[in-house]
Amino acid sequence: MFSGIVEEMGAIQGIERSLAGARISLLASHIMGDLNIGDSVSVSGTCLTVVEKTETGFIIDASTETLNCTTLGTISTGLPVNLERAMQFNARMGGHLVTGHVDGIGILRAREQQGNAILMQFEAPEDILRYCVPKGSITIDGISLTINVVKNHSFDVAIIPHTAKVTTLGLKQVGDTVNLESDLIGKYVERLLQASGALPTNPTPVIDRDYLHKRGLL
């Protein structure tokens, strides 16, 4: 479990791909102090296990499922990543409850400077947007953020200067992809309502151009 408060920006040092997945080595410094083999680390929002420590960082293994469902499938050497160690429950909760289980991939569609903040609009799958509410929480590349506006196919967030400086969001440009994780509490509420019969098990889909396009009907 994580809080979505990034501890440092690391970088991809090397990638060994195979049919079984990939072994990825990462550069890191700050989080290495008490990091041990077997520990969980959030790598840009993806919960991964440390399998080896090196002089300059650590190594993780990623399965084909992880590579297919997250942006790790398209990473390259030198790419910066957000790093966070698993949270300690005797510490302050600065963000929100984050599992590191990525729900889907989003795309940065707009980026605009407004005052001291950067307004970012992310296109997201319907399965993620259904849990998005204004002033609610969402995890973008491992960063706990507050949603400003929810639209039909996207949501907006405001990035303060500190977040832009210490995370990869400050480097993101229009068209870049990100890992998204919906608010955990919303998922449990939906499941409980479904179990009680107060909510359909399979909500009626919204039939629009995006729905038809994904099913090859356009």
Note if the pTM is more than 0.75.
yes
Answer with the one of 30, 50, 85 that is the final residue of a domain. Answer: 85
CB 42 within 8 A of CB 83: yes
Q: Are residues 136 and 80 in the same domain?
A: no
Q: 210: part of which helix (H) or strand (E)?
A: helix 209-214
8-state DSSP, 162 = H
**Contact criterion met (CB below 8 Å) for 168 and 44:** yes
Residues 60/51, Cβ–Cβ less than 8 Å: yes
Domain containing 189 equals: 104-195
Whether residue 63 is found in the same domain as residue 125: no
Tell me, what's the pLDDT at 184?
Answer: 82
Beta-carbon contacts of 140 under 8 Å, excluding residues fewer than 6 positions away, are 45, 106, 122, 157, 169, 178, 179, 180
Is 163 inside any structural domain?
A: yes
Are 111 and 190 contained in the same domain? yes
Please, what is the average pLDDT of the chain? 91
* Strand positions, DSSP E, 132-218: 137-140, 143-150, 154-159, 177-181
Q: Does 132 map to a domain?
A: yes
CATH number at residue 40: 2.40.30.20
Residue 136 pLDDT more than 60?
yes
Q: What is the pLDDT of residues 114-127, one digit of tens each?
A: 999 999 999 999 99
- What's the pLDDT at 210? 62
Q: At 198, is the secondary structure helix, strand, or coil?
A: coil
Residue 216 lies in a domain: no
Confidence of residue 160 (pLDDT cuts 50, 70, 90): very high
Looking at the structure, tell me whether residues 118 and 182 fall in a common domain. Answer: yes
For residues 174-200, average pLDDT: 84
User: What distance in Å separates the CA atoms of residue 102 and residue 60, rounded to the nearest whole number?
Assistant: 17
Q: How many domains does the chain have?
A: 2
Q: Is residue 142 part of a domain?
A: yes
Which segment of 36-50, 51-65, 81-95, 164-178 scores lowest on mean pLDDT? 81-95
- Helix residue ranges, H only, 43-183: 64-69, 126-129, 161-166
**Same-domain pairing of 47 and 113:** no
